[in-house]
C-alpha cells in the first residue's frame, strides 16, 4: 500500500530517496530549507556511485558540468607518486567517475525530484517526539498548504550535519579518534603535470591535501591536525594559504596559489549515530554519520543508503529497516578500517615495501593480485567483499610487520603516519 513519507533535507541523499520512492508510487513531501551558501565539498566521486546516477537517469547531465575522473594519484612526497587507475579493479563497475560542480549537482537532483512528482516544500520542518516516535509540528503541516492534512506514515532525516532527529531524540553517537581541521576552497585553475582528471592527494605534515580538477577551477582542501594548523595563522585565510605554500611537501605544487571566493571549515569529522532507525523514522546521509573526506566516499555512501532505504518500502521486498541499519553499519566499518590505514602510515609503507620487494616473477604476481583487490576496495566495488578486506588487513598488518622484523624492508610506519 502506498505510504506518505516526509523527508527533511533536499541534498543528495534526500533527493535520491525521494525520487526512488515516488517511482514506487509513494507520496513524498520533501522539506528543503534553502542554504544560501555554495556547497563545495564532496565534489569527487567514485565508480561505485555511477550505477546510482544511471538508476536515477542523470549521468549524462552530470557529465556536462563535470571532469572525467579515471583514477586517483597519491603523492607520498614531491618525487614519489602512487597511481591507482579505476580500470585496475574487478570489472564489475564502470572504470571511471567524475569530479563535479556540487552546486550544479545538487540543483540537478532537486530539479529531477520535482519533475518526478516529489512535492517540495521550501521551508524548515519542525518536529516533536513522543517516546521513540517523531511527528511534524502542526505549523509544519500547515506550511505544506494541503499536501499534508495529517501526520505522514514515516519521516526521514536527511538534514546533513544539522542532525535534526539525532538531536531531538538524543541518539548516542560514536566519535572517531581524529578531530582534524578541514579547510577547503576553490582556487584558480592549476596545472596538472600528470594524470589530469585524477583526484590528487598529497601527504603533508600531520595531515594531507587534495586537489580536484573542475571546469575552469581547482578544488583544494587540507585536512590537518588542529594544533598543527594553528601554527600557520589565526584566520582561516591565513591558515589555508600559508599551509599550502609553506608545508614542505606541498610547496612545489601550490606556488602562488590564488583562491576564488571564501573558505569553508569542518572540524567534527568521523561521527556516527549508533542507531539510525526507529518506530516511524530513519536517518540517511550525514544525518546518520560521516566519515572522512579521504577516498571520496561521502557522496557515494549517502546516495547508496538512500537507495537502500527506498527498498524497505517495496511492497514485495524482503529488506527490513533492521537489515538496512545492519548493512549500513557493516559497510561503514569497512570504510573506517580503510581510513585507519591511510592515517596510520601502513598503506603507504606497504606501497614502498612492494616497490622494493615485489620485483621478481612471483612478487609481480602477488603485487598484481593485491593491486586488483586494493583498487576494487577503494572504488567501492569490493568494500563488502570478505576476501578483499582480509587481504588488505593482512598485507598492511601482519605481513608488513613480519617483513620488517625479518629485515625484508627498512621502513617504519610512523615515518608516514599522518
CATH code of the domain covering residue 188: 3.30.9.100
Q: Kindly state the DSSP code that residue 194 receives in the 8-state scheme.
A: S
Cβ neighbours around 385 below 10 Å, total: 16
Residues 234 and 252 in one domain: yes
* Residue 325 located in a structural domain: yes
**Facing residues of 365 across strands?**
none
Residues 224 and 315 in one domain: no
Residues 6+ apart with CB under 8 A from 352: 76, 80, 409, 411, 416
* Residue 305 located in a structural domain: yes
> In this structure, what CATH number is given to the domain that contains residue 329?
3.50.50.60
34-53 b/e (C-beta count within 10 Å ≥ 16 → b): eeeeebbebbbbbbbbbbbb
Residues 321 and 389 in one domain: no
Rounded distance between C-alpha atoms, residue 180 and residue 130, angstroms: 36
Residues 115 and 195 in one domain: no
One digit per residue, the tens of pLDDT, for the chain of length 418 reads 899 999 999 999 999 999 999 999 999 999 998 776 666 678 999 999 999 999 999 999 999 999 999 999 999 888 888 888 999 999 999 999 999 999 999 999 999 999 999 999 999 999 999 999 999 999 999 999 999 999 999 999 999 989 999 999 999 998 888 888 899 999 998 888 889 999 999 999 889 999 999 999 999 999 998 889 999 999 999 999 999 999 988 988 888 888 988 898 887 667 889 999 999 999 999 999 988 888 888 899 999 999 999 999 998 778 999 999 999 999 999 999 999 999 999 998 888 887 766 665 555 677 788 889 999 999 999 999 999 999 999 999 998 898 888 888 888 999 989 8
Residues 292 and 165 in one domain: yes
- Domain boundary among the residues 280, 311, 334 is at 334
Rounded distance between C-alpha atoms, residue 222 and residue 212, angstroms: 12
Query: How many structural domains are present in the chain?
Result: 3
Q: What is the CA radius of gyration of the chain?
A: 22
Residues 244 and 350 in one domain: no
Collapsing DSSP to helix, strand or coil, 204 comes out as strand
Residues 186 and 312 in one domain: no
Closest CA to 187 of 259, 261, 237: 259
Question: Is the alpha carbon torsion for 6, 109, 187, 69 positive or negative?
Answer: positive
* Residue 339 located in a structural domain: no
* Residue 328 located in a structural domain: yes
Residues 79 and 139 in one domain: no
Rounded distance between C-alpha atoms, residue 7 and residue 31, angstroms: 6
User: Which set of grid coordinates corresponds to residue 337?
Assistant: 578500517
Cβ neighbours around 180 below 10 Å, total: 25
Residues 31 and 128 in one domain: yes
Residues 12 and 114 in one domain: yes
- Domain boundary among the residues 295, 315, 334 is at 334
Residues 262 and 305 in one domain: no
- Domain extent, residue 410, equals 344-416
DSSP E strands, 307-398: none
Residues 6+ apart with CB under 8 A from 81: 73, 74, 75, 194
pTM comes to 0.94
Question: To which residue does cell 567514485 refer?
Answer: 46
- Domain boundary among the residues 334, 356, 383 is at 334
Residues 236 and 293 in one domain: no
Q: Are 134 and 155 in contact (CB under 8 A)?
A: yes
**Facing residues of 82 across strands?**
74
Please state the three-class secondary structure of 49-84 as a single string.
HHHHHHHHCCHHHHHHCEEEECEEEEEEECCEEEEE
Quote the longest CA-to-CA distance of the chain.
73
C-alpha distances out from residue 212 to 200, 291, 311, Å: 6, 19, 33
Amino acid at each position: 500500500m502506498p505510504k506518505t513519507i516526509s523527508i527533511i533535507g533536499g541534498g543528495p541523499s534526500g533527493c535520491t530517496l525521494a525520487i526512488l520512492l515516488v517511482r514506487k508510487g509513494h507520496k513524498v513531501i520533501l522539506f528543503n530549507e534553502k542554504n544560501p551558501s555554495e556547497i563545495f565539498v564532496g565534489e569527487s566521486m567514485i565508480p561505485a556511485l555511477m550505477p546510482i546516477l544511471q538508476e536515477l537517469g542523470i549521468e549524462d547531465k552530470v557529465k556536462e558540468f563535470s571532469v572525467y575522473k579515471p583514477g586517483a594519484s597519491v603523492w607520498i612526497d614531491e618525487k614519489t607518486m602512487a597511481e591507482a587507475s579505476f580500470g585496475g579493479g574487478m570489472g564489475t563497475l564502470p572504470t571511471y567517475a567524475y569530479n563535479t560542480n556540487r552546486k550544479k549537482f545538487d540543483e540537478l537532483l532537486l530539479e529531477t525530484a520535482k519533475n518526478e512528482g516529489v512535492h517540495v516544500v521550501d521551508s524548515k520542518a519542525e518536529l516533536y517526539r513522543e517516546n521513540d516516535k517523531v511527528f511534524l509540528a502542526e505549523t509544519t503541516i500547515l506550511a505544506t498548504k494541503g499536501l499534508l492534512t495529517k501526520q505522514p506514515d514515516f519521516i526521514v532525516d536527511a538534514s546533513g550535519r544539522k542532525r535534526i532527529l539525532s538531536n531531538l531524540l538524543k541518539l548516542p553517537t560514536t566519535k572517531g579518534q581524529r578531530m582534524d581541521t578541514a579547510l577547503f576552497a576553490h582556487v584558480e585553475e592549476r596545472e596538472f603535470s600528470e594524470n589530469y582528471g585524477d583526484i590528487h592527494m598529497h601527504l603533508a605534515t600531520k595531515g594531507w591535501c587534495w586537489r580536484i580538477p573542475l571546469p575552469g577551477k581547482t578544488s583544494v582542501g587540507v585536512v590537518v591536525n588542529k594544533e598543527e594548523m594553528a601554527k600557520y595563522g589565526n584566520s582561516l585565510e591565513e591558515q589555508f594559504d600559508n599551509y599550502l605554500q609553506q608545508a614542505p611537501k606541498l610547496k612545489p605544487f601550490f606556488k602562488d596559489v590564488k583562491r576564488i571566493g571564501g573558505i569553508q571549515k569542518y572540524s567534527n569529522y568521523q561521527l556516527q549515530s549508533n542507531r539510525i532507525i526507529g518506530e516511524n523514522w530513519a536517518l540517511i546521509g550525514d544525518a546518520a554519520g560521516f566519515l572522512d573526506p579521504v577516498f571520496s566516499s561521502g557522496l557515494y555512501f549517502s546516495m547508496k543508503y538512500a537507495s537502500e532505504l527506498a527498498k524497505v518500502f517495496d511492497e514485495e521486498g524482503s529488506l527490513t529497516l533492521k537489515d538496512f541499519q545492519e548493512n549500513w553499519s557493516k559497510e561503514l566499518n569497512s570504510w573506517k578500517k580503510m581510513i585507519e590505514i591511510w592515517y596510520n602510515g601502513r598503506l603507504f609503507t606497504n606501497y614502498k615495501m612492494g616497490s622494493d620487494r615485489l620485483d621478481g616473477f612471483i612478487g609481480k604476481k602477488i603485487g598484481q593480485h593485491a593491486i586488483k583487490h586494493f583498487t576494487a576496495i577503494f572504488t567501492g566495488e569490493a568494500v563488502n567483499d570478505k576476501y578483499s578486506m582480509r587481504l588488505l588487513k593482512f598485507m598492511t598488518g601482519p605481513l608488513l610487520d613480519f617483513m620488517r622484523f625479518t629485515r625484508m624492508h627498512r621502513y617504519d610506519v610512523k615515518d608516514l603516519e599522518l
